[in-house]
Amino acid sequence: MVHSQELVYVDSSDILDGKLDKVRMLIQELVDFVEANEPTLLAYHIYVDESGKRMSVFQVHADSASLERHMEIGMPIFLKFQGSIDLRRIDLYGQPSQSLREVLDAKAASLGSGGDVVIHSRESGFSRWYTGIPG
């Protein structure tokens, strides 16, 4: 039986030629904003591969509402990445709300050239994250 409702979000983008420095500046702006404004987000990490050609974003949210809020308040910064990345794929592990599915599709369309959004339903498992949100 599955008890936890957390969502794990992973996206993968190509960094367009000549845009790595701009992407790195935007990454720092985004991470600073998320850390200051989203205290319920459990984990948020952005990775760039060794070649500087691929960026991946890894997030853990306590529930669908947390990821919905992230998408809502972060969208103005996400859109700054237009012209610098090509969002290839969003993988979401867990059960999103219907409205979140629509937001993810819109994000993939605005930042990519037809990137896929793939929802992975949990079959079994458990988590040992710390989920005690202060406040």
Dump pLDDT digits (tens) for 9-66.
999 999 999 999 999 999 999 999 999 999 989 999 999 999 999 999 999 998 999 9
Residue 27 maps to a domain: yes
Measure the CA–CA gap between 101 and 60, rounded to whole angstroms: 16
Dump pLDDT digits (tens) for 114-132.
789 999 999 898 777 655 5
**Ramachandran quadrant class, 86 (left: phi over 0; alpha: psi -120 to 50; beta: rest):** beta
Residue located via tokens 């992230």: 70
Residue 50 maps to a domain: yes
Query: Residue 26 maps to which CATH number?
Result: 3.30.70.100
Binning pLDDT at 50, 70 and 90, where does residue 70 land? Answer: very high
Residue 125 maps to a domain: no
pTM for this model (two decimals): 0.89
Residue 129 maps to a domain: no
**Per the structure block, which two tokens stand in for 117?**
């959004």
Residue 2 maps to a domain: no
Give the domain range for residue 89.
7-120
Tell me how many domains the chain contains: 1
